[in-house]
Amino acid sequence: MKPFSLLIKPASADCNMNCHYCFYLEKSSLYPDQKVHRMDEATLERMISSYMETEQSCYTFGWQGGEPTLMGLDFFKSVVKMQQKYGRPRSMVTNGLQTNASLIDEPFAKHLAEYKFLLGVSLDGPEHIHDHYRKLQGGQGTFGRVMKGIDILRENNVEFNILVLVNDFNVRKVREIYDFLVKNGFYFHQYIPCIEFDDEGRLEQFSINGEQWGNFLIELFNQWYPGDIHKVSIRFFDSVLNYLVQGRSTICHMENNCNQYFVVEYNGDIYPCDFFVREDLKLGNINSCSWDELLESGIYRDFGSAKKEYSFICRSCKYLDLCHGDCLKHRAFSPDNEKKLSTLCSGWKMFYQRSLPVFKNIASNIRI
């Protein structure tokens, strides 16, 4: 069986925040009959027990949303109990949790620490940058609540990294964001480009374009190299190095196939990617399908192989092995996009032209 991981939406798109750029909030329209979406214990048990019956070198659970901590501490206690109940002897299990951290209290943090959950905390920079888009339902900023949650995580020795969504407001504030994170002792970073299209296929105003992304990455690289390469871990940079050293990437947009994981919605519905949670791409439901059936699904396989249907321009690109045409989301909806080029194509080229010789030099030293 091909290895796969699970990306689980136990509270679906429900969230205690109302971030203007969030791509997942609209997914609640898939389940209009329910105002509140919560995974029940039967679905949770079916998902965990069936997954842990498959042959995996590591059973990887990613909990996302919306905001997954809306499920409460008891839910995540049940998660661990079921993993222990159905786990094979000496099997490896990992849990990742992407959160805004605003609902984390000390008992919750203690549980996460005890069972070694790795958290990603969404934080877009210092207060005036973070609060520009990341607000509560009433429009209030969320920076203080997030930082309070981070303090509780630290006090309880919970491992976490910081996820920055790079949008139109903070894309030119690289140094300010990077300095803020490092000065606050945040040494594990993720930077994700904000790319959303309107109904006519045009970039939303909060999104960034290829040139902006390229300039952002170059400035980020200049902040990181050479002084911080042994101090600060940037997930994308780590993945480039991993590819150069071991021939394997660790980020899905760098792969040549999109069959990497399954999204499990609150009611057990299964989709191939959280960027593509759509009715026409629903693969089935875990309460009535086996993982073998889902892996063999024609929809799933076609979705995965679509990654290779990149532009003819990509075939002659010297960076193709690092990109494979980029994430399907970034090339699927652009207007007049017969060339099937990623919206970020020019940015990736800018960045690799500047950084790849340096990455190769770092990689050669790692091999030694």
Inter-residue contact 323 to 348 (CB < 8 Å): yes
CA dist 286 and 294 (Å) reads 9
Please state the separation of Cα 284 from the chain's center in Å: 23
CA dist 35 and 52 (Å) reads 31
What are the two backbone dihedrals, phi and then psi, of residue 99, each rounded to the nearest 5 degrees? -150, 160
Q: How many CB atoms lie within 10 A of CB 250?
A: 15
Give 165's contacts (C-beta < 8 A, 6+ positions apart): 21, 122, 124, 192, 194
The catalytic residue positions are 274
Pairing of strands 261-264, 269-271: antiparallel
Please state the separation of Cα 293 from the chain's center in Å: 25
CA dist 190 and 120 (Å) reads 9
Counting Cβ atoms within 10 Å, is residue 288 exposed (0-12), middle (13-18) or buried (19+)? exposed
* Beta pairing partners, 262: 6
CA dist 95 and 122 (Å) reads 17
CA dist 111 and 92 (Å) reads 18
CA dist 296 and 363 (Å) reads 37
Distances (CA, A) of 255 to 16, 31, 193, 247, 356: 33, 31, 17, 11, 18
